[in-house]
């Protein structure tokens, strides 16, 4: 089955956690909005699905995945679905739920990262909330980033079965997502992360393990991987980063 | 099986969506932190579980539910679990996933509501971010609340099988959560909601249907239901509400 994946074509955003899973699984998929408009792709196609009036189960927002007849929206739900079908999650019921819970923590963390540059309104420009962003980013780097990274470090420490993995000794989708968090924080807050990540060597080890994964590394080197930029979740604004 | 539910004892918060499901199901549960300390309850018991060094799968934060040997954390994951076991979700795989997706939209909405009074730092006092809260609440009432409520209104409109329900013609846990959203917004923003809710009559109908549910109405009238207050997600600050 070929999946149809729908997300904004110019950013990694919340969709990137799904792209990483599709790539690591070697799944057959089309990144719909990145296809040319003349062949039924582009943002118009994404909006068409969003605004279609006949779907009984409309998605709230991208990303969403079309698998067969069904649409699945929300990153953690898509990964719950893909994880089971592509061996990117444990096979036991309790293991599957644990992977899902880790992903829900990643989702909350991702939202906190987004709000460092948009604390007042996601539809306003960053420039219109710069002062507030500085306050929020300061709190984030001092308290929230350590709390979140510290949590994943603890989970890794307690996983006795495998270094470089959050669950057991194999790659699962929460590893891919933690990779994305570390890579993104390095992009957004390079100075702060240089200091911060020393305290979370196990998170860094997951990042390195994922980056070296055969399919993932091919993806990261390809044009399919959109570069970090100032439209996504992880944005680099010098003034929000820690001082030197 | 008796569930053990762990959440802060003085607020509804994110835990309330779970409490509503446990109550609507007539499930056997203990609200651990609301039990007296001398009989193994209270906040100390909650913290003991949080800080226990031997759990391989530690929760990030309350709420979490102990079901048999396993802990499940994160509101949407707990509801995914309870929904299946207590007929509070459709029985088909696709139906279960749809209920879960609706709940993930509720979770994002809930976070947006929380951030109206804490746009800068959740650990700081409201008083220390009052100006920023005013800007964020303004944006919320003008854009984000309509976008979110409008989405649920659309889902209700497209559900041809039953008035007053998001899915099919029976009560499911997303109905309970939408009830909580409407009740909470009425508490937090009474003036704004008086105007707003006229546009979302189907959401109000779900609220009324849930409030009239035999077990839920008994719960709401009992001392088990904690009153809304200024420590939870939905807080009433006159200055954040719409003008008269």
DSSP per position, B8-28? -TT--GGGHHHHHHHHHHT--
**Interval A80-96: pLDDT, tens:** 999 999 999 999 999 99
Q: Identify which of A100, A132, A159 has the shortest CB distance to residue B56.
A: A159
Question: Which residues in chain A are closer than 8 Å to B14, comparing Cβ atoms?
Answer: none
Question: Which residues in chain A are closer than 8 Å to B98, comparing Cβ atoms?
Answer: 57
ipTM of the complex: 0.96
**What average pLDDT does this structure show over B127-134?**
94
Nearest to B200, CA basis, from B185, B216, B188: B185
- Positions of chain A with pLDDT lower than 50, given as ranges: none
CB contact under 8 A, B104 and A58: no
Q: B93 to chain A, minimum CA–CA distance in Å?
A: 10
Residue B124: phi, psi to the nearest 5?
A: -85, 160
Number of H helices, E strands in chain A: 10, 4
Nearest to B174, CA basis, from B145, B201, B132, B209: B209
Are A17 and A176 in contact by the 8 Å Cβ rule? The answer is yes
pLDDT of the residue at A209: 97
CB contact under 8 A, A77 and B101: yes
Q: Assign B244 a pLDDT band (cuts: 50, 70, 90).
A: low
Contacts 24+ apart (CB under 8 A), A227-233: A228/A12, A228/A183, A228/A184, A228/A187, A228/A188, A229/A10, A229/A11, A230/A126, A231/A10, A231/A11, A232/A11, A232/A12, A232/A13, A233/A11, A233/A12, A233/A13, A233/A14, A233/A110, A233/A113, A233/A114, A233/A184
Eight-state DSSP code of residue B4? E
Strand, helix or coil for residue B6: strand
- C-alpha span between A156 and A160 (Å, rounded): 8
Task: Work out the mean pLDDT of chain B and round it to a whole number.
Answer: 95
Q: Return the sign of the alpha-carbon dihedral for residues A215, A221, A226, A227.
A: positive
The residues, ordered by sequence, that sit 6+ positions from B42 with a Cβ below 8 Å of its Cβ are B9, B33, B35, B36
Question: Which residues in chain A are closer than 8 Å to B120, comparing Cβ atoms?
Answer: 119, 132, 135-136, 139
Nearest to A83, CA basis, from A60, A67, A59, A61: A67
CB contact under 8 A, A97 and B124: no
Q: B73 to chain A, minimum CA–CA distance in Å?
A: 6
Question: Which residues in chain B are closer than 8 Å to A97, comparing Cβ atoms?
Answer: 70, 72, 77, 80-81
Q: Is A112 on the interface with B (CB under 8 A)?
A: no
Between residues 61 and 90 of chain A, which touch chain B (CB distance below 8 Å)? 70, 72-74, 76-77, 80-81
Between residues 171 and 210 of chain A, which touch chain B (CB distance below 8 Å)? none
- C-alpha span between B125 and A9 (Å, rounded): 39
Question: Which residues in chain A are closer than 8 Å to B56, comparing Cβ atoms?
Answer: 158-160
| Predicted model pTM | 0.97
Question: Which residues in chain A are closer than 8 Å to B51, comparing Cβ atoms?
Answer: none
pLDDT of the residue at A149: 98
- Residue B214 buriedness (CB in 10 A; 0-12 / 13-18 / 19+): exposed
Q: Identify which of A57, A70, A155 has the shortest CB distance to residue B58.
A: A155
**Interval B149-201: pLDDT, tens:** 999 999 999 999 878 999 999 999 999 999 999 999 999 999 999 999 999 99
Q: Identify which of A77, A123, A160 has the shortest CB distance to residue B97.
A: A77
CB contact under 8 A, B72 and A139: no
**Interval A125-177: pLDDT, tens:** 999 999 999 999 999 999 999 999 999 999 999 999 878 999 999 999 999 99
Q: A104 to chain B, minimum CA–CA distance in Å?
A: 7
Partners of residue B31 on adjacent β-strands: B5
Provide the token pair at B211: 């409030």
């Amino acid at each position: 089955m070929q999946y149809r994946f729908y997300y904004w074509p110019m950013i990694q955003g919340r969709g990137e956690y799904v792209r990483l899973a599709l790539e690591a699984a070697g799944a057959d998929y089309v990144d719909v909005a990145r296809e040319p408009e003349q062949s039924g792709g582009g943002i118009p196609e994404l909006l068409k699905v969003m605004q279609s009036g006949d779907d009984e189960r409309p998605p709230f927002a991208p990303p969403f995945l079309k698998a067969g007849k069904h649409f699945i929206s929300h990153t953690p739900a898509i990964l719950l679905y893909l994880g089971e079908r592509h061996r990117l999650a444990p096979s036991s019921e309790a293991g599957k739920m644990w992977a899902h819970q880790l992903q829900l923590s990643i989702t909350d963390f991702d939202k906190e990262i987004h709000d460092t540059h948009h604390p007042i309104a996601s539809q306003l420009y960053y420039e219109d909330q710069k002062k507030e962003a500085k306050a929020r980013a300061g709190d984030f780097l001092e308290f929230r980033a350590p709390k979140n990274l510290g949590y994943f470090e603890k989970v890794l420490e307690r996983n006795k079965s495998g270094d470089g993995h959050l669950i057991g000794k194999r790659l699962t989708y929460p590893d891919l997502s933690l990779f994305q968090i570390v890579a993104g924080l390095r992009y957004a807050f390079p100075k702060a992360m240089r200091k911060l990540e020393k305290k979370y060597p196990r998170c860094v080890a997951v990042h390195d393990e994922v980056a070296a994964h055969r399919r993932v590394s091919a993806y990261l080197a390809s044009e399919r991987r959109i570069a970090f930029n100032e439209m996504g979740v992880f944005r680099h604004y010098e003034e929000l980063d820690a001082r030197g």
